[in-house]
Amino acid sequence: MSVFRGRVILAGYSSELPDLVCVRALDRALASGLIVAPPDLPRDLGNRSTVWLAAETALQDIDDLWKQIQETLEGGQTVLRWYPDNPLATDSGRRDAADLADAGIPIELVPTVPSEIIAATFAGIQMPAPPRTLASSDSESSSDYWASQDPDAADIATISIARPGSPGQSSGVGDEDVSVTHLGGPGAERRLQPNWFESLPLFGLRILVTRTISQAPVLSRTLRELGAEPVELPAIDIIPDPFPEMTAAAVNDLPTYDWVIFTSTNGVEVFLEKVRQCGFDARRFGDARVAAIGNATAERLRRNFIAPDFVPDEFVAEAVLDGLRSAGVEGSRVLIPRAEVARTSLPDGLRQSGATVDVVPVYRTIPGTPDPLVIDRIDGGEIDIVTFTSSSTVTNLIDMLDGDASRLNSARIACIGPITEATASAQGLDVAITADEYSIPGLINALCTAQEEQHA
């Protein structure tokens, strides 16, 4: 008989809010050698060793998976299985617990927040102190608070919550939606006004995010925190270091430059990774001064122990050019690590000011892969706002739509800055929102301001 030094964690998450998991479950997931999860689980709750398995399928139903689990455990690693409810509240969870016990495999159970609690909390119900009763629909109940998902409870409910915790949440009395949670009792009458969740600045909006796969989660997370539903369709992807010999040569010559100008966070990450690969660190910059376009680019430099000497007030190449001209660049040697295809105004302007400029393409931008399900949502008019964070996100998304920009007519268009706005306008799009600060925080602020003005 095998001796298992590892264990299997059976962990729950809310099907309404998959990211509402407890710290213990997330901690176990980060430390697990194998994760088994339903396909609709957020990808950041998995890892590179995740096996995607339907929630209703038991572990032992898949021979190869059962063998993989045993091998993982014999190696002393942990296995985690996610369920869209508390583990023993699901048929597959109950089967898995029994099968694992029969096999002599140790388990750990990690619960999730009950859907009734989620509904009450996101509806702003001020739940009284215990005793409180859940899953009860007795109209004569003397409890301070009760909750039920039984449709028959609608007639006696104080309030009914549909799609709790999602941007589509709706609350009222007697909602006939089959997915509603009905809340009643004296305690259910105490509600925050206005409701905290439904009052979020972007509540209910479906917002298309066109950034790269690696960058989209930062924007999506903030949109979700503000009550929106982010819909990700990466219009671009990044290929780092397409000309490694050229980048290595720039790293070797780095101490000879007077200025190094970074125009994006991608340029910072790829170039500094090349510095590390060549056996150097931030000291390789020597006496060179560093300029950054944008606060995000500047912050990425600081995280890598490089304090930028110059960050323009306006996050465009022309502002950097004006600032460097004021500092005096005549006779200076300037390095610009940036995208393979980009505007030429900055290097051209520096050369006209008497500088020697080397432009090194440290990454290549390529079109993203279309997602037919998201394209269908666009065509169905389900997207309220489309966000663009660069000119390439505009052109590539239009290409995904077969060159027909009119397929976005039902949505408002939001751009990160005037250059992206100009590209969108040239493609025939009517831009409704443009950030004053050309950054992701600036774009978020612009979205919130536009929404406030629309409801004023």
Contact 93, 83 (CB under 8 A): yes
Q: Do domains 8-110 and 206-235+368-455 have the same CATH topology?
A: no
**How is the beta sheet containing 50-52 ordered, strand by strand?**
50-52, 34-37, 79-83, 8-12, 107-110
Mean pLDDT of 238-267: 94
Amino acid in the structure at residue 59:
L
Q: What is the pTM of this model?
A: 0.77
Q: Could you tell me which CATH number the domain at 8-110 has?
A: 3.40.1010.10
Q: Does the pLDDT value for residue 248 go beyond 90?
A: yes
Question: What does the pLDDT look like over 62-104, one tens digit per residue?
Answer: 999 999 999 999 888 999 999 999 999 999 999 999 999 999 8
* CA dihedral sign, ordered 39, 43, 47, 48: positive
State the chain's mean pLDDT as an integer.
88
Architecture of domain 206-235+368-455: 3-Layer(aba) Sandwich (3.40)
Mean pLDDT of 204-226: 91
Which one has a higher pLDDT value, 29 or 325?
29
Cα separation values, 306 from 301, 315, 339, 417, Å: 5, 19, 20, 26
**Per-residue pLDDT band at 133 (split at 50, 70, 90):** low
Question: What is the DSSP pairing of strand 206-209 with strand 229-232?
Answer: parallel
Which one has a higher pLDDT value, 134 or 56?
56
Contact 256, 277 (CB under 8 A): no
Cα separation values, 353 from 49, 310, 326, 349, Å: 53, 18, 11, 6
pLDDT confidence of residue 268: 96
Domain spans in the chain, listed from the N-terminal domain onward: 8-110, 115-189, 206-235+368-455, 239-365
Q: Which two tokens stand for residue 427?
A: 């493609």
Q: Does the pLDDT value for residue 10 go beyond 50?
A: yes
**Per-residue pLDDT band at 138 (split at 50, 70, 90):** low
Question: What does the pLDDT look like over 330-353, one tens digit per residue?
Answer: 899 999 999 998 888 889 999 999
pLDDT confidence of residue 1: 39
Q: Does the pLDDT value for residue 21 go beyond 80?
A: yes
Which of 112-116, 126-130, 318-322, 432-436 has the weakest average pLDDT? Answer: 126-130
Decide which of 2.40.160.10, 3.40.50.10090, 3.40.30.10, 3.30.530.20 is the CATH code for 239-365.
3.40.50.10090
Question: Residue 1 in 3-state DSSP?
Answer: coil
